[in-house]
Structure 1
């Protein structure tokens, strides 16, 4: 059943990303163009640092899949692309492995193909400490992602219905493991209040995982006979909204994923306070259509365009993007007003 569910996820996620590109709240973020702000391209460095971690780029391949023959092949191709482009990569949830060790190679292939790269293991918030250590050992992981997915679980026919223990278990895992712990949402966004609570639990970084990309409520609803959760469409905070909400609430390093469609979205995320920006669905579509070579070309183009955009903006590093002037409009601005976030200052940061 687990392998079948993982294959269903891939099929339904790829169908979502094959739909015509739709607007999301990244489109409510515009840079103020300063015509003399540009610098020399050779002065731009894409390296980032956070929580004792150093990456060569502010772009990473976020968690997707694993647990079946098909998803093992996908993980292999994603890892090859990560190796060839120098990107960090996260495995999909290793719950499948913890239930059935026979699928270990569908995850372990990531480390096999990316032996010297930065690899993140991925578990849910109810995982036992001993199992958290097992998945770290399996992948020789450099960091551990713990995903929060209550909305997905509620819609999932066989999903969990008990969430009260999650915070305490996150704290126990963080205390027990020797690699950085990053807590992420799966597409419904983290709030500022959640970010503060996670800081209290001792995690090393958060990934806001906002609405706008792969919709796991819709995916799980598509697996139901009655499909009666369609009214949850649009639940949660978008990635830009979650970034704005969390940036003013915590000093934790913040990563961003969810609805990242273009290099411009990556740079928008950096300007809203993300240290690095991840993509899943967009990269999944590319690798399914063209294999690892196509994804290497895709990522290489994105890294080139990110460098070009930083050059025009006068940002020597990704972290310098937080000094760029922004104009926030539309539903994103309305969210900020409702949450008491003053957007005017974003237009006068340079």
Structure 2
């Protein structure tokens, strides 16, 4: 039953991403173009550092799957793509392994095929400290993701219905394991209040996991005999909204959910993300074209991100937070309602000197 559910998730997620080619709120974030801001490509680095973690690139393959024969093959190919491109990678939820240890290989293949890469284990917020440590040990994880997903569990036929234990359990795990703990939403977003609470719980990093990518409430509703939770489709806040909401919240944030291209990666980094993850786009590419196609896509994204940094005058991903941004449409309305002043974002650039006349006096 668990293996079938994991295979259903992959099938429904791929179908969803084949159907969805439209806009999301990343399109309501635009860079102010400064025509003389560019720098030399050779001076650009993609390295990012946060919470004591250093990645050579700010892009990562976010949690997807594991727990069945088919998903084990997917994880193998994802690990190969991560190894060949230097991109960090996260395991899918490892609860299937706790229920059936015989599927351990569908997760451990992430480390076997990517022995020197940055690998994140993944558990849910009900996992005991012992299970969290077993997950870390299985993939020799460099960090631990704890996923939170009430909007997915609610329509899931076999989903959890008791959520009050999640906060104290997250705190226990964060205090007990010896790798950084990252708490991630699965596609409905983390509010500022939630990020502040995670900081108090000892969590090192928050993966905002906003609306705009894979919709797990929709997936679980599609698995029901009667699809009667349709009103939960598109629940939550977009990733762009979450990034604006989390400004100055006190812990590093990662951005995932609805990331479609290298420009979305640059937008998320400019809004304060330390790294940017994607799942659906990478899964669809792998399923349609195989591991070579995914390697080519990841390589192209990294090359184009470096090109965007060159054009924008950002020596590092962190320097993108100095670029001027304009916030439009519904996203601007969200900021107004949440008391977020977006005007300073449009005037934060210091890369261009004030114009001078021929006598050297400033106009």
User: Do these two structures clear the TM 0.5 threshold for a shared fold by scoring above it?
Assistant: yes
Residue 347 of structure 2 aligns with which residue?
Answer: 348
Residue 196 of structure 1 aligns with which residue?
Answer: 196
| 1:327 counterpart SS class | strand
Residue 261 of structure 1 aligns with which residue?
Answer: 260
| 1:296 counterpart SS class | helix
| 2:57 counterpart SS class | coil
TM-score (norm 2): 0.96
Instruction: Output aligned runs, 1:123-138, within 5 Å.
Output: 123-138=123-138
Cα RMSD (Å): 0.6
CA drift at 1:239 = 0.1
Instruction: Output aligned runs, 1:92-131, within 5 Å.
Output: 92-131=92-131
CA drift at 1:20 = 4.4
Separation (CA, whole Å) in 1 of partners of 2:58 and 2:177: 25
| 1:247 counterpart SS class | coil
Residue 334 of structure 1 aligns with which residue?
Answer: 333
Separation (CA, whole Å) in 2 of partners of 1:202 and 1:128: 16
Separation (CA, whole Å) in 1 of partners of 2:161 and 2:139: 29
CA drift at 1:233 = 1.8
Instruction: Output aligned runs, 1:268-347, within 5 Å.
Output: 268-347=267-346
Instruction: Output aligned runs, 1:38-77, within 5 Å.
Output: 38-77=38-77
Separation (CA, whole Å) in 1 of partners of 2:251 and 2:122: 19
**Residues 1:274 and 1:53: Cα distance change in structure 2 (over 3 Å):** same
Separation (CA, whole Å) in 2 of partners of 1:197 and 1:32: 34
Separation (CA, whole Å) in 2 of partners of 1:238 and 1:225: 29
| 1:6 counterpart SS class | helix
| 2:89 counterpart SS class | strand
| 1:155 counterpart SS class | coil
CA drift at 1:227 = 0.3
CA radius of gyration, larger in: 2
Question: What whole-Å deviation, never above 9, does each CA across 1:125-184 have from its counterpart, x for those lacking one?
Answer: 010011101010000000000001011001100000000010100010011100000000
CA drift at 1:319 = 0.2
Separation (CA, whole Å) in 2 of partners of 1:233 and 1:22: 15
Runs of 4+ with deviation above 3 angstroms: none
Separation (CA, whole Å) in 2 of partners of 1:125 and 1:283: 26
Between 1:229-238 and 1:313-322, the stretch displaced more is 229-238
Residue 141 of structure 2 aligns with which residue?
Answer: 141
CA drift at 1:104 = 0.3
TM-score (norm 1): 0.99
Question: What whole-Å deviation, never above 9, does each CA across 1:178-216 have from its counterpart, x for those lacking one?
Answer: 000000000000000000000000011010000000000
CA drift at 1:232 = 1.2
Gaps of 5+ in 1: none
Separation (CA, whole Å) in 1 of partners of 2:169 and 2:161: 16
Separation (CA, whole Å) in 1 of partners of 2:197 and 2:290: 40
